[in-house]
Structure 1
């Protein structure tokens, strides 16, 4: 469904309740499948978390995760440990192009039995569940952190735990720390020292049985963009968030100071307030939070300021090649942008074209990151319901703060 966003302005003060983090929810769902005593509060209502939940509860032998990359990776590790069960794990046509060889090879080294059914190195996979007795594996450190987290999440259920060595510079460290922190909360002993991670088996009773998922910082990013593109004095309050967040995208609070947006933490809420204007170029390394690159690039486009973003190598293997998709859509609007395999450079822009149709490429973040531009120009969002992958109520929430949106 295509939506038209008329040029809008937002209320001077607004409040939004945002659903639980998809990243935390999917990790906890896997841990809950391994340890049935775990109870989860404020679970994400995203498509990805629904897919994950259904896959873990089904008894069928063919499981289709559609576009859910996190689910594909976490479930590959989970089903590899389910002794005696055989499943076929598949997904959308794009999912069948997304690499998973690094994880499959690591699991097979630990004693798993996983084979490819179509293209070598990509889903669909045939997984025959085994008892994994080996406990040492080495990975390149710059791979998707989801491969690493998938291994860490099953580690406490392995007979001998897991010793993981990472070679080179690690990508997305906050996501690895999130996984280890959640393991620690249920009583698993872990060590993360330089490029070595050790997870001990959990044979005793769980330390924590009820865990609350923090709201999703990636979803908050669109409100940071909205406030940055709004008049000075505009405020939006979001819940539920904490200053000591496990999520890498909580870097937003610091990053958006460069756009004149201040963040105040109070009673599990954050209030974003536009305090000043900025015309200086933005230069950031997003190695630890690549998911907010699209939001930041579009914020800079809307403000007409230069930016140079690096650390983006994982964006090429997401729901789409996000760097190429960004280039296509920003150029439609009149922006000048160059991209490499791991960076993008945006030039200053003087005006934005009206009524451009933004293609979304089956990627929820493309739809949501471009939406704030309606504060500067009218635009259309193709396949708008792609947002349900992570934030199903996104368009209703934008309407509630003043956006003019129609079908």
Structure 2
């Protein structure tokens, strides 16, 4: 069942039951600009809140996740002024104006993992809660690390998930270990707070990092705000000196994860989609999706300030991909693989079973409803090409499930998806944007 409590005032279609995506009957072409990256938006918001001075962040993503981040910062006493897609954040220089309160993070994994460390550098007590699904997602490595550094965590679950209370009078610093295989967000959450520990902090990472690019994005954001930290030569530790972030004026680049759905539209229809304001040199790991599109027969133009994808008559398959570094596109490629000329196997994505839903099990279940042959593996799946049958599909209250499944409707009749409002987590106007591109969309109340 959808967890509508986690939807923000920026969400759309919460009162709608299903959406039907229908084949456009011709190649889809268009040029568009998308809002800023979800990952960069919440990193920038929290860093700006901890900085000295007032920061100006342009091109933020107005979605559920960023709403709950701004809502929490406001409850902490931070002045946040939003006009359109530009926000001014008056930083607290590492000392939160409020010392206690209740904070709700919705279903935002970035907020649930980034905020505890930021809270722990101050003095006070806060109660954190989230959506039903967010309350099932693990926080154990991060909360254990904060406890070892001096924070007091009160929770009622053995595996340390939301809800919990955090009481603190600052973090000590020194040496601390975190696993790299569970979620890069634990490392990023501690990194964002690290400049404000009482002594310099060194984070030792056990094993490889499941999505290192996201940690690099955090380090780059920290450098933008004046704090320099980097990996050791062997890649197993990061040392951060104490200091204070300095307010900045920055432009956030579009969300590449969302761009991928629109580039897929070009691939699926033999059309052309250009997205402005994005460069191939971005740190966002999902940019690797472009190489897959090329492998599947698409033409990609990487401009200085745009990227354009032109589709082909037939998508190519017959390959295996590791999704470890850019797992958000596992579902997207799975949907496209239905129309390829050979099976596609996706591996190294076991961690996405712990996201908004068990994404591997969910996409396999929905593809089977369409009559598509799919094999589920512990860390991925194999999709065999087929002709989808009409079906009502479950989005599993997962924005990425809904957007990936919508792509199937570009080539198959009778594709209806439950709970279209769930896309508000990252792209509230997704279905409206599809309609603007000439794709027939019908949204049903019942």
Give the drift of 1:10: 5.2
Which ranges of structure 2 fall in alignment gaps of 5 or more residues? 1-15, 77-99
Of the three residues 37, 45, 51, the one matched with 2:62 is: 45
- Per-residue CA deviations over 1:34-75 (Å, capped at 9, x if unaligned) read 014332111111110111111111147222222111111111
Of the three residues 350, 360, 363, the one matched with 1:323 is: 360
Give the drift of 1:119: 5.2
Q: Does 1:284 align with 2:321?
A: yes
Alignment of 1:309-320 (within 5 A): 309-320=346-357
The CA distance in 1 between the partners of 2:106 and 2:161, in whole Å, is 14
The CA distance in 1 between the partners of 2:20 and 2:315, in whole Å, is 29
Give the drift of 1:276: 6.0
Query: Contact 1:16–1:397 (CA<8 Å) still a contact in 2?
Result: no
Give the drift of 1:352: 0.9
Alignment-derived partner of residue 4 in structure 1: 20
Of the three residues 398, 402, 406, the one matched with 1:367 is: 402
Query: Contact 2:29–2:266 (CA<8 Å) still a contact in 1?
Result: no
Alignment-derived partner of residue 336 in structure 1: 373
Alignment of 1:59-138 (within 5 A): 59=76, 61-83=101-123, 85-118=124-157, 120-138=159-177
Query: Contact 2:127–2:165 (CA<8 Å) still a contact in 1?
Result: yes
Q: Does 1:255 align with 2:292?
A: yes
Alignment of 1:159-308 (within 5 A): 159-193=198-232, 194-203=235-244, 206=246, 209-231=248-270, 234-275=271-312, 277-303=314-340, 305-308=342-345
Give the drift of 1:12: 4.6
Give the drift of 1:134: 2.5
Query: Contact 2:127–2:166 (CA<8 Å) still a contact in 1?
Result: yes
The CA distance in 2 between the partners of 1:3 and 1:12, in whole Å, is 19
Query: Contact 1:310–1:343 (CA<8 Å) still a contact in 2?
Result: yes
The CA distance in 2 between the partners of 1:185 and 1:44, in whole Å, is 19
Alignment-derived partner of residue 141 in structure 1: 180
- Per-residue CA deviations over 1:173-227 (Å, capped at 9, x if unaligned) read 1101100111112221212122111122224x73x71121110000011122212
- Per-residue CA deviations over 1:72-96 (Å, capped at 9, x if unaligned) read 111122222221x211111112122
For normalisation by structure 2, the TM-score amounts to 0.86
SS at match of 1:386: helix
The CA distance in 2 between the partners of 1:345 and 1:238, in whole Å, is 30
SS at match of 1:87: strand
Query: Contact 1:217–1:249 (CA<8 Å) still a contact in 2?
Result: yes
The CA distance in 2 between the partners of 1:331 and 1:275, in whole Å, is 26
- Per-residue CA deviations over 1:114-170 (Å, capped at 9, x if unaligned) read 121355421101011321112211122212001110011111122323211112122
Alignment-derived partner of residue 97 in structure 2: none
Alignment-derived partner of residue 57 in structure 1: 74
Q: Does 1:14 align with 2:30?
A: yes
In structure 2, do the counterparts of structure 1 residues 29 and 161 end up closer, same or farther at CA, with 3 Å as the change threshold? farther
The CA distance in 1 between the partners of 2:134 and 2:350, in whole Å, is 18
The CA distance in 2 between the partners of 1:278 and 1:4, in whole Å, is 23
Alignment-derived partner of residue 155 in structure 1: 194
SS at match of 1:8: coil
Instruction: Count how many residue pairs are aligned between Structure 1 and Structure 2.
Output: 400
The CA distance in 2 between the partners of 1:357 and 1:261, in whole Å, is 30
Give the drift of 1:341: 2.6
Alignment of 1:25-40 (within 5 A): 25-35=41-51, 36-40=53-57
SS at match of 2:389: coil
- After TM superposition, the structure 1 stretch with the greater mean CA deviation from structure 2, 20-29 or 300-309, is 300-309
Of the three residues 372, 388, 392, the one matched with 2:424 is: 388
Query: Contact 1:367–1:386 (CA<8 Å) still a contact in 2?
Result: yes
Of the three residues 390, 394, 400, the one matched with 2:436 is: 400
For normalisation by structure 1, the TM-score amounts to 0.94
SS at match of 1:137: strand
